[in-house]
């Protein structure tokens, strides 16, 4: 396996819910980059960076693609991220 490096890009949000929403937007946008792995996106409090909160479910689905719903979603995994797929 070849060596990998992770880029940590601090972005400020007022609360955990806001941070997760912002992280989802940034992660989906970065998905256009071949080197990005948006499914691994996490957020943490500035003073507790070792405690990370997963943004996406990220489970592998048939064909090797990842679930795009929020972490801890109800129901079956999906590649659909529409408004009704994850309230």
pTM of the shown model: 0.68
Mean pLDDT calculated for residue range 2-13: 80
Summarize pLDDT for 46-79 with one digit per residue, the tens: 888 889 898 888 788 888 778 888 888 999 998 7
- Could you tell me which residue, 20 or 66, shows the higher pLDDT? 20
Residue 40: predicted pLDDT: 81
**Average pLDDT, rounded, for the chain:** 82
For 5, other C-beta atoms within 10 Å of its C-beta total 4
pLDDT for residue 15: 93
Dist CA 67 CA 39 (whole Å): 8
């Amino acid at each position: 396996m070849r060596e990998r490096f992770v880029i940590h890009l601090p972005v400020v949000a007022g609360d955990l819910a806001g941070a997760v929403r912002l992280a989802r937007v940034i992660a989906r946008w970065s998905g256009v980059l071949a080197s990005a792995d948006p499914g691994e996106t996490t957020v943490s409090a500035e003073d507790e960076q070792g405690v990370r909160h997963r943004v996406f479910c990220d489970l592998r689905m048939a064909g090797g693609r990842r679930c795009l719903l929020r972490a801890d979603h109800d129901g079956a995994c999906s590649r659909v991220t529409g408004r009704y797929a994850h309230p």
